[in-house]
Amino acid sequence: MAALQLELFNKERGELKEQLDLCASQQTSLLEERDELKKKLDDFIYYSQQQWVYLGGSFYYISSNKRTWQQSRDYCLQKRADLIIVNSKEEQTLTRQWQDNMWIGLTDREKEGTWKWVDGTPLITSYWGINEPNSFGNREEDCGEVRLHKFENNWNDESCDVQRVWICEKKLPQ
């Protein structure tokens, strides 16, 4: 009788240990999820307070002063963002709301004629203006800008040393 009780006790103890291990694993997952959500909330609060514009999962900062393309990108990187990667019609529409020529995160500095975004992805959908990109007058025009804001297709290649306003994008994690 005592042997049977001991066997039942050990079986129950094993089942309780499995339940405890499962609860500990679930607790770890919930803590990780909580931390991830807290970081998202902290980012949302930070960028909202800094007057960034929220649209479709990203925050955008539109500068009021002018810098070169690289200086603009450096500013964005300091803010844990980067120059905008225009990968939707909504983002292209956003860039057209301002009247100044504006840097975007597009360049062919690495290889002439091979346009890439700042994250290294190749350009697929584009909004180049008529006869652009063209390296006008045999100038080195390796950086992308938005200009002629009344037209949807308004991108231009420009010398990276020209000073423009710019737009940063901070993608929030999904």
Handedness of CA 119, 123, 127, 129 (dihedral sign): positive
pTM for the model: 0.78
Tens place of pLDDT per residue across the chain (174 aa): 677 777 777 788 888 788 888 888 888 888 888 888 888 888 888 888 888 999 888 999 999 999 999 999 999 999 999 999 999 999 999 999 888 899 999 999 999 989 999 999 999 999 999 999 987 666 789 999 999 888 899 999 999 999 999 999 999 877
Q: Which residue ranges make up each domain of the chain? A: 1-49, 53-171
Please give the pLDDT value at position 140: 87
For residues 139 and 148, what is the distance between their CA atoms, to the nearest angstrom?
Answer: 20
Q: CATH classification of 53-171, choosing from 3.30.110.40, 3.30.420.40, 3.10.100.10, 3.40.30.10?
A: 3.10.100.10
Note the pLDDT of residue 1: 67
Position 137 scores a pLDDT of: 65
Please give the Cα distance from 91 to 82 (Å, whole number): 14
3-class DSSP state of 135:
coil
